[in-house]
Structure 1
């Protein structure tokens, strides 16, 4: 496992931010840590990096205990947590050169080449000498990711990596992370954006109120439900032919029990029932997360007993 935790807990006074999390992430995956805001995702990532010490429990990253072995582990890890950090009065290129020098970048290549390659990969190859404080939010985010990949890490830990990026930038970052993963880097990201995790990740963990509610491959989560959705101008005809299999109907849409759409279609057509659409139902990641997290949310409603202000 490239990272593992056992019974990991973090308390801030009376608040339990992370509670008894046991997590294993194998090498080579793209792992998405999902959950509502305030579910403990960022605190967990910060503990993995040794930025916050656990109240109790055990952490291993790259097979080494953390934070005890941070000095040997962190040079092999790229990270972006709670927004990119930079010296605002310096240019992006100067920031990366300082980081590369501090991290003793990969031997055998000139520092300038490493920095230029990282900037090119995140779409900042043509950046000028403007100080970082003059960058847009999207440019800062790209620079933070450039800093994370500068040392060609074995593991990338990214917290909300597409924050501030426009749709094109999000697509570019998705392609970059996929390419890095294909080249051997394990990618772990935390996000509340279901669509991004579903588009990028191979495996997922769901956090809910400090607890790890689920870990699974994305394919397993989206497995067929055992129901087929039939769209037809003659729903009564479908009910007549498949009466024992019908689970419900709404307008022209009839839900039937089954796992073989081809066989269902053939059965209906043979009895003269027109079919305009037919699909094997699969749960979306959104459905899975909402089922697991229940009422978990950053929403704050007014108490019913509270009078007008």
Structure 2
């Protein structure tokens, strides 16, 4: 679906994207992650032909970009750097104009396409208010509706749940999973790591313009070799597994062990009660911090005197 080779973008002396080899496969729900300023948005804009690469190659839907943009873009639904709309027009009018501007859209079925897209994103009940009166969450939903108008083969989304409340985030997650299961490949950039963990099947992580990790999410979130255990007999468990005990907090214990089932059987055989037991796995946050180092967009003073001087 998306393949880049040695993709590089320079702005003068600034290397924004550095020799990235990206591989998004058909059927992926691909989470694209990285700190602020790591090159995510620049790379996404190059995929869509909005920014030209300094060097390297891009293939989207098996076609070279931006050379084949006229053929490729009608098959892509995209929302990059926030939803775009005419603020003085209603949401329906915006979608009607967008549909009319694209190739191949039948005028007779335009209303149906607009209504279907609005229903998919939870905006079927909007009135004639102009978009400038919408909340941030409503504008975000409208941008996603615009991306869905033509039933795209590929969705490229930048922070699609920005501005939504928890219920709205879950609704959009469920929608993207359903679209993916129906055949749409999803590529999204997001800062919400917990959301990516629940939505995506693969992840790519960039740092300082370089792709530092690309892997199946299940593989990335590997086991830590520790077992989280809760037992009313915590003191006896701690005594029995003293050499394997990492920490204990009341009834909750962290045990160094590879197999939850085997540990459970061992404790039950000893007459000890087990209320809950689970294998501890790495979080996506831990993985991102590990592979991107300590970089962030904080600007701290070196010392109090310097802070005062600035």
Question: What is the distance in 1 between the residues matched to 2:189 and 2:66?
Answer: 20
- State the distance in 1 between where 2:152 and 2:276 align: 47
1:155 equivalent in structure 2: 154
Residue 191 of structure 1 pairs with residue 187 of structure 2:
no
- CA, structure 1 residues 275+112, in 2 after alignment: closer, same or farther (shift >3 Å)? closer
Q: How do residues 94-173 of structure 1 correspond to structure 2 at under 5 angstroms? A: 94-107=93-106, 110-173=109-172
Determine the structure 2 residue equivalent to 1:264: 263
Change (3 A) 1:97 1:277: closer
Q: Which residue of 2 aligns with 1:221?
A: 220
Deviations 1:190-210 (A, max 9, x none): 011101111111111111121
Q: What is the aligned length? A: 307
Contact 2:100 2:107 in 1 (8 A): no
- CA distance in 1: counterparts of 2:2 and 2:108, whole angstroms: 29
User: Any conservation in 1 of the 2:238–2:245 contact (CA below 8 Å)?
Assistant: no
Q: How big is the shift at 1:220?
A: 1.1
* Residue 306 (structure 1) aligned with residue 286 (structure 2): no
Asked if 1:249 corresponds to 2:241, the answer is: no
User: What's the CA shift for 1:273?
Assistant: 5.3
**Counterpart secondary structure, 1:306:** helix
Supply the distance in 2 between the matched residues of 1:214 and 1:243 (Cα, whole angstroms). Answer: 37
Q: SS at the partner of 1:31?
A: strand
State the Cα distance separating 1:60 from its structure 2 match. Answer: 0.3
Where do 5+ consecutive residues of structure 2 fail to align?
none
Q: How does 1:22-33 map onto structure 2 within 5 Å? A: 22-33=21-32
Question: Alignment partner of 1:57: what SS?
Answer: strand
Seen in structure 2, the aligned counterparts of structure 1 residues 108 and 98 have a Cα distance that, compared at 3 Å, is closer
- The answer for unaligned runs of 5 or more in structure 1 is none
Aligned mates of 1:266, 1:124 — CA distance in 2: 52
| Superposed displacement of residue 303, structure 1 | 2.4
TM-score (norm. length: structure 1): 0.91
1:259 offset after TM fit, Å? 2.2
Cα pair 1:58 1:65 within 8 Å, conserved: yes
Q: Judge which range, 187-196 or 289-298, deviates more.
A: 289-298
What's the offset of the Cα at 1:175?
1.4
